[in-house]
Amino acid sequence: MFSNHFSVAAVHRLEPLLKEKIEILFARLEDAKKTGEPVPMWHAFSALTADIITAYCFPEGWNHLSAADFAPQLHDIVNRLNLRTHLIKQCPWLIKFMRMLPANVAKKVQPELAVLIDIQEGLVRQVRKVIEARTISKRTSVEGQVFDSMLDAEAPESEKTVERLAMEAQLLVFAGMLTTAHTLMTIVYHVLANPEVLARLMDELSSISPGSIGAVPLSALEKLPYLTAVIYEGLRVGYGVPHRLQRVSPDTSLQYGEYTIPPGTPVSMSAMLQHEDATVFLEPMKFRPQRWLPIETEGQRLHRYLISFSKGTRQCVGMNLAYGELYLTLAGLFAKFGYNMELWDTLWERDIATSFDAFSAIPELNSKGLQIVMKDA
C-alpha cells in the first residue's frame, strides 16, 4: 500500500524535504559553534529522521529539530522500551493485555508506556485528520503524503481502518527514525575518530563548496566512491537491525550443510554474525572504508554480504529513503563542518558499540551516545 512511496524515484522527488530538514540541523550546529556547548548527536540525528518520516507521512511533522533539546525523552524511552523486545517476543500476550487496559491505567502500570501511548494517540489523530480532510473536500490523495494516498490503494477496507493505519504509522515512524539515526551516529564517530578517513572524505568532498551543498543533487552524491564506501562500512559496523529476523520457507525444505530444515520452520540469525565474519571482511572489527573500493568491483562483491536492510522480498521498504538521508546528511555535514567537529566525552565501548540487541542496536545504558563540540577550524 505504501511501497511506491519508497522507491528510488520517489526518494529523489522527496529530496527538497530531506534538504530542508537537514538545513535546520545545520543551523542548530552553527548555533552550537557560537555557544561552545556539546551537541548530543544521537538525539539530533533521531530528531532529523523523525521529522523527515513524519513530514512525509502526514500533513503535520513532529518538528523535533526545533526543540531546544531535540526532544530526547521520546528517543530515550523508545530505546528503553525496545529492551523489552525479547520478553515480548516470548510473551506476546503482554501486548494484548496492555492494549485491553484503559490508557490512564496502562500509564500507571508501566510509566514508560506513557510516552508511547501519547505517540499512538497522536498518530490516530493524524490518520483521522487525513480521512476527515478527504471527506470534507471529496478529493483524492494529496501527492507526496504517504497515508493520504494509502486510502486510494487497491486493498480491503479492513486494511484502511484508523486503527490499522495508525499501527502502520507507528511502524514506519519508529523504523524510519531509530536505525538511520544510529547509522549516522556510528559513521560520524568513526570518521572523526580516524583522521585519515576524515582527510580522505574531505578531499573527495572538496569539490562541493559548503555554501552550495543544498544545490548538489542526490544523484551526484551517490556517484562519489569514497563517500559510498564510508556509508557501506558504517552500515556494516552499525548492523542496521542486529535482532534475529526470522524467515520461513513455506513450501520447500531448506538445506544447510548436513541439515535439512522442513518447510514452515522459522530460521533466523543476527546480522552481527555476518558482518563480523573474518572470512568475508578482513579485520572485521576495524572501520575500513577502503575494503569497498573500487565500488564497481570489490564493493559489489562484498555488497552481497551486507544485510543491514535484509534481502529479497522481505527487504526493508525504507532502504532507499535511508540511503538518501545518509548521502545528503553526511555529505553536507562534512563538507560544511568537517574540521570544525570534535568528539566530546565519547567512548567507542560505552557510547557507540552495540551492547544490547533490543531489536535496534543500543549502547551501554548509561551512555549519552555521540557528542561533539563545534570549534573554529
Q: Domain containing 282 — which CATH number?
A: 1.10.630.10
| Overall number of domains in the chain | 1
Among 157-161, 206-210, 349-353, the range of highest mean pLDDT: 349-353
CB atoms within 10 A of CB 95: 10
Residue 13 has pLDDT above 60, yes or no: yes
Q: Which domain holds residue 133?
A: 3-374
CB-based contacts of 349, cutoff 8 Å, min separation 6: 364
Residue 193 has pLDDT above 90, yes or no: yes
Residue 169 has pLDDT above 90, yes or no: no
DSSP 8-state symbol, 158:
G
Q: Which helix (H) or strand (E) holds 361?
A: strand 360-362
DSSP 8-state symbol, 365:
T
Of residues 136 and 169, more confidence is placed in 169
Q: Which helix (H) or strand (E) holds 108?
A: helix 103-109
Among 66-70, 82-86, 90-94, 180-184, the range of highest mean pLDDT: 180-184
Sign of the C-alpha dihedral computed for residues 135, 140, 144 and 150 taken in this order = positive
